[in-house]
Amino acid sequence: MNTSAQTSTTVQVTFELNEKSVTVDVDPSTPLLWVIRDHLNLTGTKFGCGMAQCGVCTVHIDGVATRTCVTPIGSVAGRKVQTIEGIHDKVAQTVQKVWVEENVVQCGYCQSGQIMSAVALLRSNQKPTDSDIDKAMGGNLCRCATYARIRHAIHVAAERILKA
């Protein structure tokens, strides 16, 4: 194909990914999800729907759980992005550990997103109630329906973090 006919434009965007500064040169409409996966090779963040319905693409942007499939890269300039590969604090470690111990995962494909949402919840709410959990986790689908274990694991993790 004659690429000189390609008239669409790209832009340079610099942001912080898992505590490192990165710069990419892509079409400004490119969702952060595909920048993370295809350009920066971090594949723990998943694609599931592309329309903010399933939550498997969830990362933290400036600490807030965000659906990257509908976040154009242009809006991320200068911001701090954390993916499943980059969360290492006490809350994240506890959540991941409890998730393993409670055998939460089945296919696991939604679980990066579940964990990013759960970690964001537990960072802001040390003792979430069931309805807090429904609210914080309502955007994360699990086709394997591991929901009962997700709920239980969040309660167990909350308790463990409080005790520590």
Partner 1 sequence: MAIEKDISRREFIKSSTALTTGLVVSFYLPRADAKIVDRFEPGNAQDKFEANAFVIVKGDDTVVVLSKHLEMGQGVYTGLATIVTEELDCDWSKVTVEAAPADASRYNNLAFGPAQGTGGSTSIANSWHQLREAGATARAMLMMAAAKEWSAPLADIVTSNGQVFHHKSGRSLSYGQLVEAAKKTTAPKSVKLKSNQDFKHVGQNVIRKDGAEKVNGKAMYGMDLNLKDKVYALVLRAPLFGATLKTFDDVEAKKIKGVREIFRIPQGVVVIADHFWPAKMARDKILAKWDDEEALHKSTADIREEYKELLGKSGEIAATHGALAKSKEDAVQTVEATYEFPFLAHAPMETLNCVVQLEKEKCTLWTGDQFQTGDQMTVAKLTGLSPQKVIINTLMAGGSFGRRANSKSDYIAEAVEIAKATKTNSGRPIHVIWTREDDIRGGFYRPFFMHEVSAGLTAENKIAYWDHRLVGQSIMAGTAFDKGGIDHTSVEGLSNLAYDTESLQVELQSPKLQVPILWWRSVGHTHTAFSAETMIDELAHLAKIDPAQFRLIHLTKHPRRQEVLKQATLMANWGRKLPAGVGLGVAVHESFKSFVSQVVQVKVSGKTFKVEKVWCAIDCGIAVNPDNIKSQVEGAIGFALSAALNGEITLKDGHVEQSNFHDYRPIRIHDMPQVEVHIMASEADPTGVGEPGVPCLAPALANAIFAATGKRLRKLPLTLT
- When asked if residue 157 is in the footprint of partner 1 (CB under 8 A), the reply is no
State the binding partner of 140 from partner 1, ligand FES, none, CB within 5 to 8 A by kind: partner 1
* Secondary element (H or E) of residue 148: helix 147-163
| Closest by Cα among 105, 121, 82 to 96 | 105
CB 22 → ligand FES: shortest distance, Å? 20
Cβ proximity to ligand FES: between 60 and 161 the closer is 60
Helices 111-124, 130-137: axis angle to 10 degrees equals 130
Cβ proximity to ligand FES: between 67 and 123 the closer is 67
Cβ proximity to ligand FES: between 11 and 109 the closer is 109
State the binding partner of 18 from partner 1, ligand FES, none, CB within 5 to 8 A by kind: none
- When asked if residue 144 is in the footprint of ligand FES (CB under 6 A), the reply is yes
- When asked if residue 156 is in the footprint of partner 1 (CB under 8 A), the reply is no
CB 21 → partner 1: shortest distance, Å? 21
Instruction: Spell out, one character per residue from 79 to 108, where the chain touches ligand FES: x when CB under 6 A holds, - when not.
Output: --------------------------xxxx
DSSP code for 43:
-
Q: Count residues binding ligand FES (CB under 6 A).
A: 23
Cα–Cα distance measured from residue 70 to residue 73, given in angstroms and rounded to the nearest whole number? 9
Q: Exposure string (b/e) for 21-30, b if CB count within 10 Å is 16 or more?
A: eeebebeeeb
- When asked if residue 48 is in the footprint of partner 1 (CB under 8 A), the reply is yes
